[in-house]
Amino acid sequence: MLVLIAAHAAVAALLPALAPRLGRAVWWVAALVPAAALIWAVALTPAVLEGEETVEHFDWAPSLGLEVVLRLDALSLLMVCVVSGVGAAVLCYGARYTSEGHGRESALLLAFAGAMLGLVTADNLLLLYVFWELTTVVSFLLIAGRGRTEEHRAAAQQALIVTTGGGLAMLLGFVMLGETAGTYRISELVADPPTDGHVSAAVVLVLVGVLTKSAQMPLHGWLPAAMVAPTTVSAYLHAAAMVKAGVYLTARLAPGFADVAPWRPVVLAFGLVSLLFGAWRALWESDLKRILAYGTISELGLLLVLFGYGSRNAALAGEVMLLAHATFKSALFMTAGLVEHHTGTRDIDRLSGLGRSRPVLLALAALAAASMAGLPPLAGYLGHEAYFDTFWEAARHGAGTGERWTLAALIVGSTLTVTYAARFLWGAFGNRPGVAPTPAGDPSRDRAPGMAAPIVVLVAATLTLGVWYPGTEALTEPYAQRLPLQGEKPYHLALWHGVTPALALSVAALAVGLALHAARPALAALRDRSPRAPDAQEGYRRASGGLEGAAVWFTRRTQVGSLPAYLTVLLVSVLVVPGVALLLRDAPLPTPPLWASAVQVPLGVVVLTAAGVLARVRRRLSAALLAGAVGYGVAGFFLVQGAPDLALAQFLVETLTLVIIVLVLRGLPAEFGARPGSRRARRLRLTLSLAGGALVGLLAVVASAARRDPAVSAYYVEHVKEAGSHNVVNAIIVDFRAMDTLVEISVLLVTAIGVAALIALPSDGSGTGARKGIRARPPAADRYPSTARWGVPRERWLPEAERMPDHDRSMLLEVVTRVLFPAVLVLSVYLLYSGHLRPGGGFAGGLVAGQAFALRYLVGGRADTAFAGPVDPRVIAGAGLALAAAAGLAPALFGGSPLATVPLSRDLPVLGHVEVATSVVFDTGVYLLVVGVCLKLLSAVGPAQAPAGEAVREDTGPGGASARPEAAGAPGGRAPTTSDDHGSDHR
């Protein structure tokens, strides 16, 4: 199972690269993966139906309940067949339907199929939530698309917000269930459900996630809005896969939680309301896809009722309806796409006579609509008969009126289903009086034959499931047997049970539904006179608008734009909350020694003096240097305390930060502005600062003295050899706390991208993100072609510096840079690979490499830095993050725990005995990411704060004339310098 999920992800990652060469064929490549999953599921079907379950387990963080557990039982087998079978059909359909963006669209659909495969096989609540949210994210990308309209983006945003909000509530419910039961295994929870008082609240929270994902009233608005997405998305996500996630979770938990007090009332109430509302609302729509969307809301409500009711017969009916709905609804969505392909519209008010020009498509749509309406011998008929019989018997033998109301709602919902099925069929293919036949294009020139093939397969599937009902029952009964009978006899699928109440109800629903369709004018008049149903879109807009208004109101009153005000609030909060707690404690305050080493005294004097002077200086550059002095002093404390790794990292960070700050200061006034506030206000700020610092120091002392359990550092020291390392700090970073490191480097990358984006904001009103006086420059490879010629140097060092006027150059700095740049890069690689034995590691090595590129920048500016590192910094950083993540996941593929380290030792020729750990690959990813971030920050600061001579001068020839005709306006051109230019600041 894990291999199949990984195959979905791997192939999806390759498809965009294959698309330029393969074109539409990438869809066929993508379809092979879910087809393989379907074949795998079919091969395991006999064993699963006999009670055997396939389980794959990988530990992640067992102490936190985090484990990768995949389980294939009867219910998940059913869902795998739906997800993979319909997914393969939709991908084949996309090969003909989609006209552009083949790589992106096929990759996202395949990634979604992989996420759904993980969701329906996950046997851990937290793992299920991860896949649940992955489907949400991919759905957002599919609906929004690339280059689509604002309507697409708004629909994608609505779907993301609604389903993510429900997912957060569901996550809270999962945590409550897992902590109450002592396990996050779904199979164990269902087999032995907890009975604590918190279970009811947890169940309600989980059902909130179910209702949002399955688009149940009143949280349904995102589904009709998502109909702006391509038909491939609607036919898969909104008919067979994503919207089924909530139904699947209901079915998965029902055997253990159907008897919990709020379960049935919530499921039946929302399910029945959605059943009736969705069916009625479908009669209002004129867009074919929106008719199907509201029909989907109705049918999802029906499925929730059947699975949530908690009986054997209802679950059997639910499984049959789930299979039927996946096949006929996907086929109908594809039909709507074909109608639009032929005619250019989905509006039934503009369609007429298409059935005559497309009789094959009409026949396929008629069979799919007949299954939706519950006509024999199709799968929909089996489901209708099953749930009518189930609730007829429940209404006869039930003690309350709930079963009777449920039966009445099912009858009305089924009747309206027949009506909107007929409305879809008539609207797409019928002859409308007074409307000219719709031109359907030349069938010899379109791709319709290939597009119709997946529809044929799905219609054949719904027909086969109905005709071959013994096989359908064999597939659905194992799960249904897990639920109890509620006084009724076991129901068995058949096309003919004789003349029964269920048959009578089916015939009545069919007859009344067709009669309502025949009485369309009267029904339209009744619809127009009836109160308009609540508009979910309007409700969403009002809710989001109100929330945005409240946020603006709150922001205006809290974000006043004053940094001193923000710091004052923070310091007061620190003084009040922990300060009061510290004053109220009974234990005496510890009295640690003032210093542990005499060397700490001068270091403390340096730090305190620099901090004190920093608060008084007026020049920005002086303040930056003093802040660096404070950082260097702290690094000295680390070194004295025996933490060379921390000291090295602190030194490197301070140095690189100081360089970047100095570059930023070039665009700011030399001095700070006038001191705000009166003398009294300044004294108050001074008092708050001193009190805050003293309190934080005191809290650190108290916290260190309040430890009750042994320090975890002892564990690290004891087990450092197991991580294949002799350096405890590096082992913590890449092994013991590798997950923390992975998250932190991800945050670092996101922060760097955000900072670069903020710096790139336009300041000249052009909206292009360019700063005044700075022009875009071509890639370094274009600006500096190869100089390999006979009699001339084969390589150019510091090419940008060589183009500067002599008075802007520092020969000493250039020579030093020539020598140091490669040496520092080698040193950075040495620190990377020596980190397991002595101070260093990927983070320190990356910072050292960043210093090397900063040196190149100071000599030759942004262009010279680009020449030295011609690869896009985003690519370097992204590759580093991908490498670290891959190194973390690799052990799981070989049966180990993710992020586990395997020490290796070999005797190699020349090198002798070599010891290395697999975590060095993870550390290399950290190194690349840090280098990429450093380059990105330098390139971001460069355009706005480039050294003089880079983007503010014209290139001049020997006589002072422009050396290039395009110098004045072309990319890379320069403007003349003046005597006021800070031409040597970069030195």
8 lies in some domain: yes
Tell me: do 615 and 740 sit in the same domain.
no
Kindly state the helix (H) or strand (E) to which residue 59 belongs, with its residue range.
strand 54-61
- The yes-or-no verdict on residue 787 having pLDDT over 70 is no
Contact 244, 322 (CB under 8 A): yes
Contacts of 335 (CB under 8 A, 6+ apart): 361, 364, 365, 368, 428, 455
What is the full DSSP assignment across 446-483? SSHHHHHHHHHHHHHHHHHHHHTHHHHHHHHHHHHTTS
pLDDT computed for residue 955 by the predictor: 37
pLDDT (tens digit per residue) in 244-293: 999 999 999 999 898 888 999 999 999 999 999 999 888 888 889 999 99
Q: What is d(CA 382, CA 495) in angstroms, rounded to the nearest whole number?
A: 7
pLDDT (tens digit per residue) in 375-389: 999 999 999 999 999
Tell me: do 68 and 113 sit in the same domain.
yes
Q: What is d(CA 114, CA 123) in angstroms, rounded to the nearest whole number?
A: 16
Calculate what percentage of the chain has a pLDDT beyond 70: 85
Higher-scoring residue by pLDDT: 794, 550: 550
Contact 648, 827 (CB under 8 A): no
Characterise 537 by phi-psi region: left (phi > 0), alpha (psi -120 to 50), beta (else). Answer: alpha
pTM reported for the whole predicted model: 0.73
Residue where a domain stops, chosen among 227, 261, 295: 261
Nearest to 249 by CA among 139, 125, 166, 67: 125
Segment 828-845 mean pLDDT: 85
Segment 76-105 mean pLDDT: 89
Segment 437-457 mean pLDDT: 70
pLDDT computed for residue 584 by the predictor: 74
Higher-scoring residue by pLDDT: 833, 911: 833
Tell me: do 223 and 290 sit in the same domain.
no
3-state percent helix, strand, coil for the chain, nearest multiple of 5? 70, 5, 30
Q: What is d(CA 427, CA 345) in angstroms, rounded to the nearest whole number?
A: 12
pLDDT band at 470 (very low <50, low <70, confident <90, very high): very high
Tell me: do 254 and 281 sit in the same domain.
no
- The yes-or-no verdict on residue 366 having pLDDT over 90 is yes
Least confident among 56-65, 210-219, 345-354: 56-65
Contact 308, 264 (CB under 8 A): yes
Residue 718 one-letter amino acid: E
92 lies in some domain: yes
Tell me: do 250 and 287 sit in the same domain.
no
Q: What is d(CA 40, CA 86) in angstroms, rounded to the nearest whole number?
A: 15
Tell me: do 254 and 282 sit in the same domain.
no
pLDDT computed for residue 783 by the predictor: 41
908 lies in some domain: yes
Residue where a domain stops, chosen among 207, 240, 261: 261
* SS3 (DSSP) at 335: helix
Q: Phi and psi dihedrals of 55, rounded to 5?
A: -125, 130
pLDDT band at 211 (very low <50, low <70, confident <90, very high): very high
Quote the number of domains for the chain.
Answer: 4
| Helical pair 150-181 and 125-144, crossing angle rounded to 10 deg | 180
- The yes-or-no verdict on residue 367 having pLDDT over 90 is yes
Residue 874 one-letter amino acid: R
pLDDT band at 960 (very low <50, low <70, confident <90, very high): very low
Q: What is d(CA 693, CA 607) in angstroms, rounded to the nearest whole number?
A: 14
Tell me: do 820 and 906 sit in the same domain.
yes
Tell me: do 354 and 484 sit in the same domain.
yes
- The yes-or-no verdict on residue 691 having pLDDT over 80 is yes
Higher-scoring residue by pLDDT: 109, 986: 109
143 lies in some domain: yes
Residue with tokens 């996950």: 122
Q: What is d(CA 451, CA 337) in angstroms, rounded to the nearest whole number?
A: 9
In the DSSP assignment, the letter for residue 736 is: I
- The yes-or-no verdict on residue 82 having pLDDT over 90 is yes
Q: What is d(CA 336, CA 756) in angstroms, rounded to the nearest whole number?
A: 45
pLDDT band at 715 (very low <50, low <70, confident <90, very high): confident
370 lies in some domain: yes
Q: What is d(CA 220, CA 729) in angstroms, rounded to the nearest whole number?
A: 51
- The yes-or-no verdict on residue 661 having pLDDT over 60 is yes
Quote the domain boundaries for residue 815: 734-759+790-968
pLDDT computed for residue 640 by the predictor: 87
Mean pLDDT rounded to a whole number for the chain? 81
Burial of 141 (0-12, 13-18, 19+ CB in 10 A): middle
Question: How, if at all, do strands 54-61 and 66-72 pair?
Answer: antiparallel
534 lies in some domain: no
- The yes-or-no verdict on residue 791 having pLDDT over 60 is no
pLDDT band at 935 (very low <50, low <70, confident <90, very high): confident
CA 574 to each of CA 45, 563, 950: distance values in angstroms, whole numbers, following the listed order: 61, 17, 46
Contacts of 628 (CB under 8 A, 6+ apart): 654, 655, 657, 658
Helix residue ranges, H only, 468-599: 469-480, 501-518, 520-529, 536-558, 563-584
pLDDT computed for residue 85 by the predictor: 93
Q: What is d(CA 287, CA 284) in angstroms, rounded to the nearest whole number?
A: 9
pLDDT computed for residue 676 by the predictor: 59
Residue with tokens 């007949």: 370
In the DSSP assignment, the letter for residue 619 is: B
528 lies in some domain: no
Tell me: do 326 and 460 sit in the same domain.
yes
pLDDT computed for residue 761 by the predictor: 65
Tokens at 154, concatenated = 């708004």
pLDDT computed for residue 799 by the predictor: 61
Contacts of 847 (CB under 8 A, 6+ apart): 649, 652, 653, 656, 930, 934
pLDDT computed for residue 808 by the predictor: 62
Tell me: do 432 and 352 sit in the same domain.
yes
**Residues 388, 406, 198, CA angle at the centre, nearest 5°?**
125
Residue where a domain stops, chosen among 238, 261, 284: 261
Burial of 70 (0-12, 13-18, 19+ CB in 10 A): buried
Characterise 949 by phi-psi region: left (phi > 0), alpha (psi -120 to 50), beta (else). Answer: left
688 lies in some domain: no
Tell me: do 740 and 664 sit in the same domain.
no
Q: What is d(CA 204, CA 186) in angstroms, rounded to the nearest whole number?
A: 17
Tell me: do 247 and 278 sit in the same domain.
no
